[in-house]
Structure 1
Amino acid sequence: MENASTVRFSSCRGVAFEIKPHANPFAVVTTDQNRYANAEREGTSSRFRLPWDFMRNASKVFPTSIQHSMSRASSHFCDLDSDNEEEEEKDDIFYLEEGGIKEGNEEHSETDEKAILASSASKHSEKPQQPPVPKKRASRLSIILLDQGLFTVYKRLFVLSLFLNVLALVLAATGNFVYARNRAALFSIANILALTLCRSEAFLRIVFYLTVKLLGNSVVPLRIKIAVTSLLQSLGGIHSGCGISSIAWLIYALVLTLKDRDNTSTAIIVVASTILSLLCLTSAAAFPLVRHLHHNVFERVHRFAGWTALGLVWAFIILTISYDPKSRSYTDNLGSKLIKTQEFWFTLTITVAILLPWLTVRRVPVDVSSLSGHASLIKFRGGVKAGILGRISPSPLSEWHAFGIISDGKTSHMMLAGAVGDFTKSLVSKPPTHLWVRTVNFAGLPYLVNLYDKVLLVPLVRGFAYFYRF
């Protein structure tokens, strides 16, 4: 296992992200040991700690758990209150010149220790003690946006999808992309189609299944498998990038329409403007700070504003196709024209992808037991394939929550829900007898274990689950 290359992925509350690889993920690294080792190699001055410093910082000298030396788990995926936890005080370390007291197994005389204590006391008495400077508290926005770094796979995909759309938009505006200039509304709908497929549970089940079938062979290089795993767990970047791009294309289409005001109708402009307003509202609700602090607001705005916008897209397509600029009226011969347009087929695909999961919503009996005051175990009837995740809800139009599924694949399956929010806490305090579920479950990070020959699953606290690939 020493020469094996390892990559670590993490999943929390339905959101997955990549953590930078480490040479030895199970190594115990203590900072103090490294400092002392470097000092001994360089022959520089050694350090001495007072006895009460050892007691106060015993957890640093004798670590009780494995310390992670790589990037820590982002609090924006779990608890945003991590900035309330004050960091431990820095060690009070006295630097002694070479020839003085050395650290290790050497014994120190009482005279030397008294001399050091007297020296430190005189230093403190000479200068008045300064009140501790309060540490600047990191804002929630910085935690959400920057905690996992600026170059995660999610953010790269976001930038890539946005860049390609901006490039095409610039070419269209400068007259170098005539097709896009004449079909700006189509490009807006195409971006909506792309972002919908990135969140379609049925579509992603097919993508994950084909990925495992095509790349699950041991002949496929590990780097390719790792890259594909990172990509599939970060499709939200494409979802977000296409959402912003659809707004940009619709604004461009409206500008062109207003310039050619004589060849369009007021109804078309009003409908397009309303769609634009709804898309802007949906994007604003999905902004990380709003989404993670007011998740229910985000979910409801995203759902109902999205449904309203989809209905208006259908109205926009019908009005646009049936309008005759010469007669300034709407024609009745709509069917033959409608099926020949790309806008119709794109919007039809969007509608099917959105409706399909809702057609599988069912209210099912559950058996909820509380293992402790911090978690609940939810049992369902019927087996589920390993690696699949499911969504449950107390009220299907209000909120949905995703959890990993444990199943024997035959008679039953279970979900373990930590009590971290209003809904999950109510599962402990008031266990329900029935919950709403979507019978079309979605594939997540655990499903991709089938890509690799060897895997080590490491369940951790706060809803995380790391897996290492060898």
Structure 2
Amino acid sequence: MLDALNQARVLPAPKLWRRLSSLPMLSYYNRLFALVLACNVGAIGLEPDLSTMVLINLSLATLVRQQYLINGLFWLATRVPVTWPLWIRCRAAKVYHFGGLHSGGAVAATGWLIAMVGDQVAMHLRAPGSVPPTALWWSVVLLAGLLMMIIMALPWVRGRFHNGFERVHRFAGWGVLLVFWGQTLSALANPLHSGTFWMLVVLTVSIALPWLRLRKVAIDTARPSSHAVIARFSHTTPFTGSSTAISLSPLLEWHSFANIPSPGQPGFRLIISRAGDWTGQFIEQLPAHVWVKGITTAGVANVETLFTSVLYIATGSGIGPVMPHLLAGKVPARLIWSTRSPRKTYGDALVDEILQAQPQALIWDSDELGKPDLVQLAYGAVQAFGVEAVICIANQGVTRRVVQELGARGIPAYGAIWDS
């Protein structure tokens, strides 16, 4: 494979309009975010009820993160047949940018709530007693919770204080829901006849569903190196392209990893690489049990079925999300995997399994060969093998560079976006 790539053409300069359209600020995530805000700005002219607009946007922000809905969105998007024009399939593959709806809804809800609190304060100042003190305090507490969640979700804050972000989102989110319940029940004489009441029921069930499936499961672990652990689960067999969230302290911290089911075999594996305190502790202690909740959830690599062929680019433990697709073989694929000492780090068995599924794979040992130019390698593979799309599973910087540089040259490219 490397010989074929070396014979490929030199990476061309992108056209200006493609370079601009591939900029992160114009991503589908940001377009969906802007669309939600635009719809809310348009609604101002209709003079809607402020509390209703808060609830509508909070409902959007909450429900679009529900695992069943996420799987449904991926299922719907990947129903587009490969016989349809490429430009339609490329846009359907952007389904994983749905987080823009979540962020847009949360920001819009906060904006409407600021307006509502401002209106209540103004009414109170004009006519003391016109607004019940309880209602005003409910609104202030609700606003404080939403502002705290938005601040912690800012990319630079989330990246630096990820555990804090996760806990604030969980506990403040629950608090916001409880406050909304209190505010609603105290204001309604007959809640059963209120749309707000039933919307809150839907949101409560949506949030509770994953926790109703909370369970502690046994795992078997193998530690091929001090950098990685392969954990085997037997309690269920997930679908290809899904992920599972696991925890050692279910109220405090959760981490998602790509499921690796083997065709025809029950159970699945997770590759857990050292990437921080939690993963380091996991590798050192090798727990016999972990907590799982919710259902397995679709990930970005599921968009492969929208294309006649794909090139997978993976670095390090990014091979985890890619491997189940290679084993399933639903779509003709090529693989470029860059990692440090693959056999030493992940074990001979895993590497041999990958090569059995992908004999032509390029496994780049960065300890021996140095860091590769993945954009050049990807472009060479696209030209040499005629693949329709590229899916990159790497760290944030590499993924963004590969997706942006290939997109700027008209090559459909996809990768995780680390949205909030």
The Cα of 1:363 is off from its aligned counterpart by 0.6
Q: Would you say 1:346 and 2:230 are equivalent positions?
A: no
Aligned equivalent of 1:302: 169
Asked if 2 retains the 8 angstrom alpha-carbon contact of 1:278 and 1:309, the reply is: yes
Q: Could you tell me which residue of structure 2 aligns to residue 417 of structure 1?
A: 272
346, 360, 364: which is aligned to 2:217?
A: 364
Taking the aligned partners of 1:158 and 1:26, their CA distance within structure 2 comes to 42
Task: Pick which of 357-366 and 153-162 moved more.
Answer: 153-162
TM-score normalised by structure 2 residue count? 0.68
Task: After TM superposition, give the deviation of residue 28 of structure 1 in Å.
Answer: 6.7
Please list every run of 5 or more consecutive structure 1 residues that lacks an aligned counterpart in the other structure.
Answer: 1-23, 35-68, 71-146, 172-176, 323-333
- TM-score (normalised: structure 1): 0.61
* Correspondent of 1:385 among 235, 239, 246: 239
Q: What is the aligned-residue RMSD (CA, Å)?
A: 2.7
Amino acid of the structure 1 residue aligned with 2:31? R
Measured in 1, the distance between the counterparts of 2:23 and 2:215 equals 37
The match for 2:96 is 233
Kindly name which structure, 1 or 2, has the bigger radius of gyration based on alpha carbons.
Answer: 1
Asked if the contact 1:186/1:342 (under 8 Å) is kept, the reply is no
Paired AA for residue 270 in structure 2:
M
1:426 to 275, 281, 289: 281
Counterpart in the other structure of 1:206: 72
**Identity rate, percent:** 28
Q: How does 1:161-310 map to 2 (within 5 A)?
A: 161-169=36-44, 171=45, 177-178=46-47, 180=48, 183-212=49-78, 214-215=79-80, 217-230=81-94, 232-261=95-124, 262-310=129-177
CA 1:289–1:458 in 2, change beyond 3 Å: closer, same or farther? closer
Contact 1:197–1:204 under 8 Å retained in 2: no
1:368–1:427 Cα contact (<8 Å) kept: no
Whether the 8 Å contact between 2:209 and 2:294 is mirrored in structure 1 is no
CA distance in 1, matches of 2:6, 2:258: 24
Q: Distance in 2 between matches of 1:202 and 1:194?
A: 14
Shift of 1:439: 4.8
Query: Displacement, 1:386?
Result: 0.9
Contact preservation (8 Å) 2:271, 2:317: no
Whole-angstrom CA distance in 2 between matches of 1:398 and 1:298: 11
Q: Tell me, in whole angstroms, the C-alpha distance in 1 between the residues paired with 2:207 and 2:153.
A: 18
Equivalent residues in 2 for 1:395-414 (5 A)? 395-408=249-262, 410-414=265-269
Which residue does the alignment assign to 2:346?
none
Amino acid paired to 2:269:
M
Distance 1:393 1:456, change over 3 A: same
What CA distance in whole angstroms lies between the structure 2 residues aligned with 1:401 and 1:253?
Answer: 36
Deviations 1:76-133 (A, max 9, x none): xxxxxxxxxxxxxxxxxxxxxxxxxxxxxxxxxxxxxxxxxxxxxxxxxxxxxxxxxx
CA contact (8 A) 1:396 1:436 kept: yes
Give CA deviations for 1:355-395 in whole Å, capped at 9, x if unaligned: 11111111100112112222211110032211111111111
Is 1:453 matched with 2:320?
Answer: no
Deviation at 1:211, TM superposition (A): 2.8
Assess if the C-alpha contact under 8 Å between 2:77 and 2:93 holds in 1. Answer: no
Partner of 2:388: 469
Which whole-Å CA distance do the structure 2 matches of 1:190 and 1:439 have between them? 24
Q: Secondary structure at the match of 2:202?
A: helix
- Structure 2 distance, partners of 1:341, 1:448, is 40
Q: Kindly indicate whether the alpha-carbon contact (under 8 Å) linking 2:272 and 2:317 is maintained by their aligned counterparts in 1.
A: no
Which amino acid is the alignment partner of residue 231 of structure 2? I
Q: Determine if contact 2:238/2:267 at 8 Å carries over to the other structure.
A: yes
State the one-letter code of the partner of 1:236: G
Aligned residues: 309
Q: Distance in 2 between matches of 1:168 and 1:228?
A: 28
Unaligned ranges ≥5, structure 2: 16-21, 323-332, 334-386, 390-420
- In structure 2, what residue type is equivalent to 1:383? T
Query: Relative to total residues, which structure has the larger helix share, 1 or 2?
Result: 2
Answer yes or no: is 1:153 the counterpart of 2:153.
Answer: no
Alpha-carbon distance in 2 for matches of 1:270, 1:25: 67
Alpha-carbon distance in structure 1 between the residues aligned to 2:252 and 2:93: 31
| DSSP 3-state at the match of 2:286 | coil
**Using the alignment, how far apart are the partners of 1:347 and 1:26 within structure 2?**
60
Separation in 1 of the partners of 2:224 and 2:198? 50
Offset, 1:429? 1.2
Report the Cα offset of residue 26 of structure 1. Answer: 9.4
